[in-house]
Amino acid sequence: MRSGGRREFEIIEAENFARLGGSSGLYPLVLSVWGIVAFVVVVDWLDTASLQIVGYVLYPVEYVVNALLFPHAVTQLHGNATALLILIPTLAMMFVGVTAVRRLADGGRRALQFLRRTR
């Protein structure tokens, strides 16, 4: 065990502070919170606007999906905020699905290459 523990602790803390670029590590969290606040303000402004933009963008996509998966469903034209609340998770699920299919295809391709090499 080393002696001079307090001085060594101060040196380690100074190195950690310098490694983090002089920040306390909360900077990304603060940016995330302000980003969410800004997003909510923009969505609220879009929802109070007289021109409903996002609902018209979402309507054809929702209509096709409803026609394929839920033939008896009635597709509505949504306001901007509701359309964004539907569109963002939908895009996220599509991204996850495409990524999963791509990874499965890559795994299948690698398995086929492995099988061809072992013959």
Per-residue pLDDT tens for 25-44? 556 667 778 888 888 888 88
Q: Which of 5-9, 46-50, 54-58, 67-71 has the lowest mean pLDDT?
A: 5-9
Number of domains in the chain: 2
**What sign does the CA torsion over 13, 16, 20, 21 have?**
positive
- Token pair for 96: 């996850």
The answer to whether residues 86 and 54 belong to one domain is yes
Quote the CA–CA distance of 79 and 53 in Å, as a whole number: 8
Same domain, yes or no, for 53 and 36? no
Same domain, 27 and 60: no
How far apart CA 72 and CA 38 sit, in angstroms, is 38
3-state helix, strand, coil in the chain (%, to 5): 75, 0, 25
Residue with the two structure tokens 């100074």: 14
Tell me: pLDDT of 1 over 60: no
Most confident among 49-53, 90-94, 105-109 (mean pLDDT): 105-109
Q: Which residue in the block uniquely carries the two structure tokens 């539907």? A: 86
Are 6 and 58 in the same domain? no
pTM of whole model > 0.85?
A: no
Q: Do 60 and 29 share a domain, yes or no?
A: no
Do 60 and 116 belong together in one domain?
yes
What is the domain extent for residue 67?
A: 49-119
Do 37 and 61 sit in the same domain of this protein?
Answer: no
- Coil, helix or strand at residue 51: coil
Q: Is residue 17 located within the same domain as residue 75?
A: no
